[in-house]
Amino acid sequence: MRLNILNTGYSFGTKLLFAFIRAMSRQPLPDAAKIIFYRPDFYGAHMRKITQFAMRGVSEWSVAERELMAAYISKLNNCPFCIAAHTATSTLAYRDQNKVLKVLSDLDTAPITEPLRATLRLLKTLTTEQTINSEDIWRVKSTGVSAQQIKDALGVCFAFNTTNRLADAFGFEVFSQKAIESGAKYLLSQGYR
């Protein structure tokens, strides 16, 4: 259920910022950005830091791989807004839409490395079963994934399982393909700050 507060619950300064962003981008401001500014002390400021660290912090995973993880987790959660946003961002980062779409449709045959495939399987287990065990971790490590890469992937998993649930709970609007692609360009150039 979409809450009207996402449309009206902001200070005058924040409303001016939203108007400036709309004017400069010529695209509607996504609800994911709006929710960051609604009660920033409670959610927005904290989640922005967590997501920026998970998605753009130093990692052995590339930006494209982490965006693919976000799209994959969003697909598992059937979150239309996040599927669209992160499929577009991952596609732009990889410069290979076919690869991204194949991962989202059939992980087993997708043209990706075994370490990434094993990591995505781990994220699937955690997302769908809400638990993982030491065997799951060892299975991923046996493909050459480091302990730090597992931690980094779990950070992406946390960020997007949280965001997916909020996007669905608040009924985030899915915009046109042009707006989605504009948002993807922004995420690649600016991150989640």
Tens digits of per-residue pLDDT, 40-61? 888 889 999 999 999 999 999 9
- pLDDT confidence bin for 146, thresholds 50/70/90: very high
- Taking the CA of residue 36 as centre, how many other CA atoms within 13 Å lie in the half-sphere pointing to its CB? 18
d(CA 55, CA 57): 6
Return the pLDDT at 9. Answer: 78
- Inter-CA distances, 101 with 38, 72, 82, Å: 33, 10, 14
Instruction: Give the end-to-end CA distance of the chain in Å, rounded to a whole number.
Output: 27
Which of 6-10, 23-27, 70-74, 173-177: highest mean pLDDT?
Answer: 70-74
Which residue ranges form the domains of the chain, and what is each CATH number? 47-190 (1.20.1290.10)
- Contact by Cβ (8 Å): 156, 170: no
d(CA 190, CA 193): 7
Return the pLDDT at 41. Answer: 87
Q: What does the mean pLDDT of the chain come to?
A: 93
Rg of the chain over CA atoms, in angstroms?
Answer: 17
Range 7-16 average pLDDT: 85
